Amino acid sequence: MPIVIPTTLRDEIQQVRNYVKIQTELFETELETVFNVEEDAEESEILRSLLQPLVENVFVHAFRNRLSHKILIINAVRKDDLLEIEIADNGCGMSEERLSKIIGSDGMSPLQRNDGRDSLGINSVIRRIKLMYGAPYRLEIDSVPHAGTKMRLILPFRSVEKKGLEVC
């Protein structure tokens, strides 16, 4: 069994900030990025590299034909024993048919289909959530063609205990 080393939401958000900064400096023009992360949610334990594939998806697919006024919003809140993280964009959006193929609403696991590589990142996130957390935790996706997409992670809120160093 592989060893899974969790991180904090704060660290994952910093990784995403770094990724967005690189994208902005190399490729993007007219990108507005908004991070709304509640302080209470920042110390939640989360799997490493759970957010970045979703944000990469925005740059690769949602913004591919949008030349100006690109908006990426990342919200994270704690709701009782849940951590909800939303990644929203104003990109090209998706049809219900395309969305069904990606998230498997046809009753078939995305991993059981051979859709090619264009949903690999999302499938990886879905698979990791199922393996590590199980139901009722999940990735939800709402999308409207030509209006954008919202991806919502519903995860358990698990506070990371702060470990101090002992001085001898």
**Beta-carbon contacts of residue 84 (< 8 Å; ≥ 6 apart):** 75, 76, 77, 78, 152, 153, 154, 155
Structure tokens at 28: 């993007």
Cβ neighbourhood burial of 85 (10 Å; 0-12, 13-18, 19+): buried
Domain residue extents for the chain: 7-156
Quick one: pLDDT at residue 161? 67
CA–CA distance, 21 with 26 (Å, rounded to integer): 9
Cis peptide before 2 (omega within 30 of 0): no
Q: What is the DSSP letter of 115?
A: -
Per-residue tokens: 9: 């939401």
* Among the listed residues 125, 116, 122, the one whose alpha carbon sits nearest the alpha carbon of residue 155: 125
3-state DSSP of 50-106: CCHHHHHHHHHHHCCCCCCCEEEEEEEEEECCEEEEEEEECCCCCCHHHHHHHHCCC
End-to-end CA distance of the chain: 35
Q: For position 162, what pLDDT does the model report?
A: 55
Quote the pLDDT of residue 107.
39
Q: For residues 151 and 141, is the Cβ–Cβ distance under 8 A?
A: yes
Considering only the C-alpha atoms of the chain, give the largest distance between any 2 of them, rounded to a whole number of Å.
Answer: 62
CATH number of the structural domain 7-156: 3.30.565.10
**What's the one-letter identity of residue 106?**
D
Residues with Cβ within 8 Å of residue 73, at least 6 apart in sequence: 33, 34, 36, 86, 87, 88, 89
The pLDDT tens digits along the chain (168 residues) read 556 678 999 999 999 999 999 998 887 778 999 999 999 999 999 999 999 999 999 999 999 888 889 999 999 999 999 999 999 999 999 999 988 888 775 434 444 444 455 568 898 999 999 999 999 999 999 999 999 999 999 999 998 765 444 444
